[in-house]
Amino acid sequence: MTFKALDEQGVFNYVLQRTAMQSFFSDKPELQVEEVRDGNLNMVFIVTNSAAPADKVILKQALNYLRVAGESWSLHAIACALRFKPY
């Protein structure tokens, strides 16, 4: 499996392809995606339905490398899995 860090367009496409996300947002969502740029490890995005601003989710992607150092500083798969687990 190839790893690809998401960008705002990738998150938009990801949300549209997920049934659970589609059922969360109202019938005709007008989605806006904003990246939160202060993380060292993860990609974090806020997905908002501008037609119903209370409809909002946070999407977090655990990267397989240290974000601030770049892809040359890889992280072990177990570390990624632990960051994936919801608490």
| CA–CA distance, 37 with 18 (Å, rounded to integer) | 24
Per-residue pLDDT at 8 exceeds 80 = yes
Q: Indicate whether 1 belongs to any domain.
A: no
Angle, vertex CA 6, rays to CA 71 and CA 68, nearest 5: 35
Per-residue pLDDT at 32 exceeds 60 = yes
Contact (Cβ atoms closer than 8 angstroms) between residue 39 and residue 29? no
pTM score, whole prediction: 0.74
pLDDT grade for 11, boundaries at 50, 70 and 90: very high
Q: Indicate whether 77 belongs to any domain.
A: yes
Number of domains in the chain: 1
Residues in contact with 74: Cβ distance below 8 Å, sequence separation at least 6, in sequence order: 64, 65, 66
Can you give the residue range of the structural domain that contains 48?
A: 8-84
Q: Indicate whether 75 belongs to any domain.
A: yes
Q: Indicate whether 3 belongs to any domain.
A: no
pLDDT grade for 60, boundaries at 50, 70 and 90: confident
Tokens of 65: 């490398």
Q: Indicate whether 41 belongs to any domain.
A: yes
